[in-house]
C-alpha cells in the first residue's frame, strides 16, 4: 500500500507518481519516507523507482514526453527533467505551488498556481512573472490555451488579460 501523490499519465502505457510508502511497511522494511519518482508500465499493478527515493515528494507532477516538471513539497523546490525523470535540474520557484502545467506544444511555456497566484514562465521555469492573484488547478489542453479550474476559471494565457476567456468561434 502506498500513498500516491503527484499522479500523472505520461503516455498510453506509463503512469508516474510520487508519495509515501505505507508507514508500517516502511518501518518494517526500512524504506525511506518519500518514494521519489516511481513509474508503472502495467496500469498501476506494479511500480518501480525511477529516481530520488527518500529525497523527493512530488505533490505536483506533469509529463510532456520525456520532459517532466515536479514540485517537491518536502524540500520546497521545482524540478525539471529532460530524460523521463532519470536526472533532475532545480528551477526557479515562483512560490509554494499547488499545480504546474506546460503547453503541450512547447514544454518550456509553463503556468504555476500557488501562494503567488498564477505565474507564467516561457523558459522552462528559469524565470517567472505573476499574471494574477488567484489560485486553483490548471489545465493546458493540446488544442488551446491554459485554463484555471476553480477560483472563477478563466484563461491566464490569453491576450485579453488574466482570467478572461478568449472569444470562441461559433457556427458551422
Tens digit of each residue's pLDDT (9 = 90 or more) over 121-151: 999 999 999 998 877 778 787 777 776 665 4
> Is the confidence at residue 161, as pLDDT, over 60?
no
C-alpha to C-alpha distance for 75 and 106, rounded to whole angstroms: 27
Summarised one tens digit per residue, pLDDT across range 79-130 is 999 999 999 999 999 988 989 999 999 999 999 998 888 999 999 999 999 9
Residue 11 has pLDDT above 50, yes or no: yes
**Cell 458551422, residue located:** 172
Alpha carbons within 13 A on the beta-carbon side of 53:
11
Amino acid at each position: 500500500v502506498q500513498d500516491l501523490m503527484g499522479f500523472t499519465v505520461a503516455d498510453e502505457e506509463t503512469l508516474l507518481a510520487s508519495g509515501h510508502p505505507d508507514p508500517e511497511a516502511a518501518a518494517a522494511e526500512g524504506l525511506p519516507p518519500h518514494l521519489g519518482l516511481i513509474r508503472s508500465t502495467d496500469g498501476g499493478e506494479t511500480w518501480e523507482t525511477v529516481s530520488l527515493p527518500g529525497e523527493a515528494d512530488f505533490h505536483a507532477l506533469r509529463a510532456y514526453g520525456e520532459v517532466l516538471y515536479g514540485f517537491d513539497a518536502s524540500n520546497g523546490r521545482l524540478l525539471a527533467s529532460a530524460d523521463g525523470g532519470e536526472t533532475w535540474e532545480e528551477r526557479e520557484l515562483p512560490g509554494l505551488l499547488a499545480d504546474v502545467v506546460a503547453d503541450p506544444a512547447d514544454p518550456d511555456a509553463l503556468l504555476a498556481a500557488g501562494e503567488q497566484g498564477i505565474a507564467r514562465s516561457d523558459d522552462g521555469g528559469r524565470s517567472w512573472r505573476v499574471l494574477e492573484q488567484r489560485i486553483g488547478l490548471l489545465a493546458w489542453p493540446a488544442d488551446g490555451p491554459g485554463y484555471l479550474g476553480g477560483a472563477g476559471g478563466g484563461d491566464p494565457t490569453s491576450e485579453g488579460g488574466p482570467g478572461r476567456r478568449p472569444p470562441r468561434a461559433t457556427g458551422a
